[in-house]
Structure 1
């Protein structure tokens, strides 16, 4: 196993969540770090810790960017601790002990926990590992709740894409909700594709290119030929980060048709306006926001016509809701 370095930064709860969602600081690193945010003491809810795991020794630029993204650390209140770890899978170890959770109709647990015996709940087993998406972050929980809401409101989907699948959790949830759908799950990280493959076996999820199956591909955005061939999708899920979401707007729009439902997550509330604007420019309208703390999950719909069109008889200035829909 390659060497692993860890950078630990004590910080506030708000700073930990904001830092974990921001990918600006990783650009100075030769390898993509894994970020784990955790509460250090339940009796002190504002005291959190960010642990950043790297496959190479963190350089000065990475440390400086970490400090800039944590106001408390930048002010000199906290100092980062850098250490070379023993030859163990510290990413997995850091995520062990996760408690089962309920999100909508889904009960997400690890293989060390018993599945729920409630017939109204759908069990999904996701073990801790070297890919994001165990379900315990607000973004993933918000997506599970949003998918459950779409099902309850009568939506039916037959062609689904999960972009940035991580552990495969959201693709699995979509499979349970729309059994006859063709689903394709992609991730830029080959480790995530491998983890999703393993988790599919753990959950008896059939893999393949037919209906009621999930196809796995490694892809940078929607560049993979299989994604282009299957488009347009009637449901696209993208739980990644605000920056990539904005950058992917043209690709996602090109893979969408009139009425395509789009579920976006991985952004903070302060990033919502920028993300929504990027998709409104591509012809989407915001229909619903599922908010978990400061992490919104956005449900948008592709308009039948590109963007907003003024009706001929309307003379007053358009309202914000004409562009953004109902939140």
Structure 2
């Protein structure tokens, strides 16, 4: 029936009614907080392009993790910034690597906190790519290309080392073909059949990663990552990427970035029944922080609407640098 019999504003009249009929909600249990860990002592180094985000050495990590746990945030994802880089990213799969050390420390202090280990080589390689590089000559010029199949062995070693250290979830972000299959097989062979894989299934070659690359010191030394990360123009390809990961044994799927790819989130939610993760990435974070610092926007309202939109689009979980702020806002609406 039409107006005046139907008046849609009736269910918007009061806060109480709006709360009763709200279709989508955001909870602290939806949030995952990223942490950058590094070597050294007494390091709490601000990341200039990401206000209120820091590099933490292990001796300063406990205070950060204590705060996260106290806010009720259920999970963190660890990114390592090593003191040694080489061609194969050996610090990534070193059993005493920085991510492995941080994992053991966090699990000893907060066993209930879910530790997710980002599994990639880009922070650990001297060339900054997500896999090992094969150099060959073309017309007298040295050309470096990421060797997909050779990279899988190193990524699998990294995943096993992270699981041995106590990581609850392995989150491979490298976008090599076959990475889920290789890591699943490696984990199973090492006795970690129960460790789930949160796959960066649909990771675009995005301009929104700039601040993260500053934070992780992972900018490629040559070329770019467009040959293995997805073209932002493509959406049907996202289904092929996600389907491959499902077949290979992924337990969760991810879309990265989130804000410009809400349609992709919805597509994967409608097509697959695995838990879906949205990564609210560094560029999205820094844009909001910059505008809020100028007084142009209300940060709390913008962040709340943005994260709620990701949930509405289909995300079950959200990795976000706003996790601590959002947890506090949820406690004090």
- Structure 1 length-normalised TM: 0.30
Name the one with the larger strand percent.
1
RCO comparison, higher one (Cα < 8 Å, 6+): 2
- Structure 2 length-normalised TM: 0.30
Name the one with the larger helix percent.
2
